[in-house]
Amino acid sequence: MWQWLTDLAKHDRKAFAKCAAKIKRLEDKGHELRRPEADYLEDDIYELRAKKGHVNYRVLYFFHGQNVALLCHALTKERAIPAADLARAKARKAAFEKDPAPHMATYRFTSDQ
């Protein structure tokens, strides 16, 4: 997840800025964030939705309690979220729920990174 965002920042700063803005909106709005910015997928996995030109960027996340959203996977997509990417997000959620400590990180995104 972090590597995807770091690579995006290096290769397409405008796309990174759009994704970072959506992450900030998630931080500000939490459970209140709705379409077109976010959408529920399944099994408590949600997606943040950003677009630059014809490219769709998705950051998959889930909630832990009322105030914590955990980013668990990111991808560039054309149509539907591929089953393998959704399965990866679900596996990361399950791993977090089993033992949260090694999976936690705090990071603040800004468009000038």
pLDDT reading at 100 higher than 80: no
112: three-class secondary structure by DSSP: coil
pLDDT exceeds 50 at position 113: no
Peptide bond into 100 cis (omega under 30): no
Q: What is the pLDDT of residue 2?
A: 80
Q: So where are the chain's domains?
A: 2-103
**Could you give the C-alpha distances from 31 to 28, 44, 74, 101, in angstroms and in order?**
10, 12, 19, 23
Instruction: Output the pTM of the full model.
Output: 0.84
The residues facing 39 across adjacent strands are 47
Q: Give, as one character, the DSSP assignment of residue 6.
A: H
Per DSSP, the three-state class of 91 is helix
Give the model confidence (pLDDT) of 8-25 as tens digits: 999 999 999 999 999 999
